[in-house]
């Protein structure tokens, strides 16, 4: 089995020019515009703009870029550091034809730089205009900003602080983040391993670039907030900015669609839809009318399937997975997911992140299922699935994507958060016990760490061969979740790997997994009793990694 990639990087099927792969999905607001060509998923990095204040990891990144034949354009001390390390680098002044001036205040604020960042190469007119202007596009921008907050904290004089207000940096960051359809923007050295991995497999993916863009906008927002608060503090006033607790949340949804009832038959329910490309806008191709519970479970299933880059299937019952798997095909993934818990899968909801073909449909059809959701179905698959008159078949809207914010009503208010879509790279994990994972173990650990995100807390997921084999979910203590996962594995736990969505507060839960014979464990770490937990894994000779991030799902 191919090792799953936590970044969503997959091997690029090169186009005729060997540079860019074109996916079939249209992108957002431009999906209907004939001026736009199809959105590119994997984009090869040929030219990179690198200008960083934080030099951590710079030389390793520059070495990887140079080895991949990427042209590096850089500024000031960054360019000097790269050149001193023996890697080829082009000074920004050579690109702009204008020297860095005013003590470095003006370096990158030039059309030759920003046109190369902002050109939307899905548009033939933009591509032609770059050629006419003799400007080369950038596929990667690596920028982090002047250390403003650190300078303020050092007690520096006002003029020194003012000089640390970055102008060109935020402009480049925001330009690249806006144009993430074409450009990867990296603002944090922790993401360099992900970029280096992308170079090795053909380029950055659209999902990867979207995640980088989200981090980039958060980076500039935090930076501007620090500057605003500095000025406000000097003036003895409160910074006039839209704080999270002061911001206004306006929601507008139309197209009300009454449902038969809510969670129970005595509850009224309505589905409201807007212009978002989510499950609510899916096209129903067959089966009975969707219910409230169908939508809830289908949304959880889609979210779980789309956590993975390889062909994936999630089977959901009452908002919890009874099986998640990846495979070489959707049919193989479904078979593996169903094998996790065939009893619970009866009457469940199935979602995939890829096209359902005849083989996948024939794998699904014999099993009583409430809903099947996928981005696409082949005609042969629809023939098989629609023959089951009660099976609800939903096709996701073209360009399906998660919303930027998740909303949950509480009495008297609304909770808002960004979706949990970030998964720490394996290179960022910390080995705290046992031997380093071999390739197969690493693949299973990476899969399990993504799959456990979809399980209600406290969550424990056992996996082997790219498929869940036992899941413990929704318990009020982690010990019971561990017992449940082992029980549901029914003999398959020995030799499996385990993922925990949050740290083990004591060693007792982990000990259940160790006694059951798991070979490796991935968990966030961070308990005050981590030493006890690590000691238990060490005594058992079991590999254990800390990720430094958790994935609670309430």
For residues 14 and 176, give the distance between their C-alpha atoms in angstroms, rounded to a whole number.
23
Of the pLDDT bands very low, low, confident and very high (cuts 50, 70, 90), residue 385 is: very high
For residues 134 and 371, give the distance between their C-alpha atoms in angstroms, rounded to a whole number.
53
| Pick from 72, 90, 98, 6: nearest CA to 451 | 6
Q: Which two tokens stand for residue 75?
A: 């500024």
At residue 14, the pLDDT reads 33
Lowest mean pLDDT among 6-15, 71-80, 205-214, 445-454: 6-15
Please report which residue ranges of 376-426 form alpha helices under DSSP H: 379-385
Of the pLDDT bands very low, low, confident and very high (cuts 50, 70, 90), residue 107 is: low
Domains of the chain by start residue, with CATH: 20-235 (3.40.50.1380), 278-395 (3.40.140.20), 426-546 (3.40.140.20)
Q: What is the pLDDT of residues 128-187, one digit of tens each?
A: 777 787 788 888 999 887 777 677 767 777 777 787 777 777 888 888 888 888 889 998
**Looking at 30, 190, 288, 318, which residue is catalytic?**
318
Average pLDDT over residues 65-73: 90
Pseudo-torsion of CA 459, 462, 463, 468, nearest 10°?
Answer: -60
Of the pLDDT bands very low, low, confident and very high (cuts 50, 70, 90), residue 6 is: very low
Q: What is the DSSP string of 459-497?
A: -EEEEETTEEEEEE-S-SSHHHHHHHHHHHHTT--TT-E
Helix (H) or strand (E) segment spanning residue 321: strand 320-326
Mean pLDDT score across all residues of the chain: 84
Q: Which two tokens stand for residue 392?
A: 């609800």
Is the bond leading into 155 cis (omega within 30 degrees of zero)? Answer: no
At residue 104, the pLDDT reads 58
For residues 4 and 12, give the distance between their C-alpha atoms in angstroms, rounded to a whole number.
15
Contact 123, 35 (CB under 8 A): yes
Residue 15 has pLDDT above 60, yes or no: no
Q: How far is CA 283 from CA 278, 302, 382, 400, in A?
A: 11, 14, 13, 12
Average pLDDT over residues 60-74: 89
Of the pLDDT bands very low, low, confident and very high (cuts 50, 70, 90), residue 363 is: very high
Residue 427 gets which letter from DSSP?
Answer: G
Of the pLDDT bands very low, low, confident and very high (cuts 50, 70, 90), residue 517 is: very high
Of the pLDDT bands very low, low, confident and very high (cuts 50, 70, 90), residue 29 is: very low
Nearby residues of 209 by Cβ (< 8 Å), 6 or more positions away: 43, 180, 181, 183, 184, 185
Contact 30, 53 (CB under 8 A): no
Give this prediction's pTM.
Answer: 0.59
Average pLDDT over residues 323-344: 97
Q: Count the helix, strand and coil residues of the chain and give each as a percent rounded to the nearest 5.
A: 40, 20, 40
Strands (E), 397-550: 406-410, 413-417, 430-433, 460-464, 467-472, 497-500, 520-523, 543-546
| Pick from 110, 49, 122, 106: nearest CA to 82 | 49
**Looking at 178, 219, 317, 338, which residue is catalytic?**
178
At residue 162, the pLDDT reads 81
Q: What is the pLDDT of residues 432-457, one digit of tens each?
A: 999 999 999 999 999 999 999 999 99
Q: What is the pLDDT of residues 186-230, one digit of tens each?
A: 988 888 888 898 888 888 888 888 888 888 888 888 777 777 777
Q: What is the pLDDT of residues 310-322, one digit of tens each?
A: 999 999 999 999 9
Q: What is the pLDDT of residues 232-254, one digit of tens each?
A: 666 654 445 444 444 566 666 76
Residue 378 has pLDDT above 50, yes or no: yes
Q: Sign of the CA dihedral 96, 97, 103, 105?
A: negative
338: annotated active-site residue: no
Q: Sign of the CA dihedral 53, 54, 59, 63?
A: negative
Stronger pLDDT, 535 or 91, i.e. the higher one: 535
Q: Give CA angle at 513 (509, 514), nearest 5°.
A: 110
Residue 354 gets which letter from DSSP?
Answer: S
Residue 62 has pLDDT above 50, yes or no: yes
334: annotated active-site residue: no
For residues 196 and 296, give the distance between their C-alpha atoms in angstroms, rounded to a whole number.
38
Q: Which of 203-207, 213-217, 271-275, 536-540 has the highest mean pLDDT?
A: 536-540
At residue 52, the pLDDT reads 85
Of the pLDDT bands very low, low, confident and very high (cuts 50, 70, 90), residue 126 is: confident
Contact 410, 304 (CB under 8 A): no
Q: How far is CA 199 from CA 7, 47, 154, 219, in A?
A: 12, 12, 38, 24
**What percent of the chain stands above pLDDT 70?**
85
């Amino acid at each position: 089995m191919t090792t799953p990639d936590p970044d969503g990087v997959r091997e690029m099927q090169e186009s005729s020019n060997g540079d860019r792969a074109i996916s079939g999905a249209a992108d957002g607001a431009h999906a209907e515009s004939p001026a736009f060509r199809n959105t590119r998923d994997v984009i090869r990095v040929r030219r990179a703009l690198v200008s960083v204040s934080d030099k951590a990891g710079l030389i390793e990144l520059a070495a990887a870029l140079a080895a991949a034949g990427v042209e590096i354009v850089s500024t000031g001390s960054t360019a000097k550091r790269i050149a001193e390390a023996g890697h080829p680098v082009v000074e920004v002044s050579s690109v702009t034809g204008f020297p860095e001036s005013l003590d470095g205040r003006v370096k990158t604020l030039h059309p030759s730089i920003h046109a190369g960042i902002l050109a939307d190469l899905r548009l033939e007119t933009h591509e032609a205009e770059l050629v006419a202007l003799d400007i080369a596009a950038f596929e990667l921008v690596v920028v982090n900003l002047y250390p403003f907050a650190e300078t303020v904290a050092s007690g520096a004089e006002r003029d020194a602080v003012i000089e640390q207000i970055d102008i060109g940096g935020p402009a480049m960051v925001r330009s690249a983040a806006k144009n993430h359809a074409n450009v990867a923007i990296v603002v944090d050295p922790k993401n360099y391993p992900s970029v280096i991995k992308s170079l090795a497999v053909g380029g950055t993916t659209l999902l990867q670039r979207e995640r980088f863009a989200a981090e980039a906008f958060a980076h500039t927002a935090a930076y501007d907030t620090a500057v605003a608060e500095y000025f406000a503090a000097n003036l003895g006033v409160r910074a006039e900015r839209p704080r999270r607790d002061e911001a206004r949340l306006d929601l507008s949804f139309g197209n009300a669609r009454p449902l038969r009832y809510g969670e129970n038959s005595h509850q009224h329910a309505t589905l409201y839809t807007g212009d978002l490309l989510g499950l609510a806008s899916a096209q129903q191709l067959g089966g009975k009318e969707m219910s409230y519970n169908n939508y809830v479970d289908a949304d959880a299933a889609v979210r779980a399937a789309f956590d993975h880059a390889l062909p994936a299937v999630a089977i959901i019952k009452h908002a919890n997975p009874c099986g998640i798997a990846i495979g070489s095909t959707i049919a193989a993934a479904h078979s593996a997911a169903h094998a996790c818990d065939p009893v619970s899968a009866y009457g469940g909801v199935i979602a995939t992140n890829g096209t359902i073909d005849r083989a996948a449909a024939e794998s699904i059809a014999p099993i009583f299922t409430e809903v099947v959701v996928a981005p696409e179905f082949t005609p042969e698959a629809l023939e098989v699935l629609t023959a089951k008159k009660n099976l609800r078949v939903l096709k996701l809207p073209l360009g399906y994507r998660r919303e930027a914010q998740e909303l949950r009503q509480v009495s008297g208010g609304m909770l808002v958060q960004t979706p949990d879509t970030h998964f720490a790279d394996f290179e960022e994990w910390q080995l705290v016990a046992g031997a380093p994972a071999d390739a197969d173990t690493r693949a299973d650990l990476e899969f399990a760490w993504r799959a456990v995100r979809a399980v209600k807390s406290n969550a424990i997921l056992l996996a082997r061969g790219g498929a869940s084999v036992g899941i413990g979910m929704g318990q009020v203590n982690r010990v019971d979740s561990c017992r449940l996962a082992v029980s549901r594995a029914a003999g398959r736990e020995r030799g499996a790997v385990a993922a925990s969505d949050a740290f083990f507060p004591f060693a007792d839960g982990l000990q259940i997994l160790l006694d059951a014979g798991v070979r490796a464990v991935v968990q966030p770490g961070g308990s005050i009793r981590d030493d006890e937990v690590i000691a238990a894994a060490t005594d058992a000779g079991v590999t254990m990694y800390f990720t430094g991030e958790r994935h609670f799902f309430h």
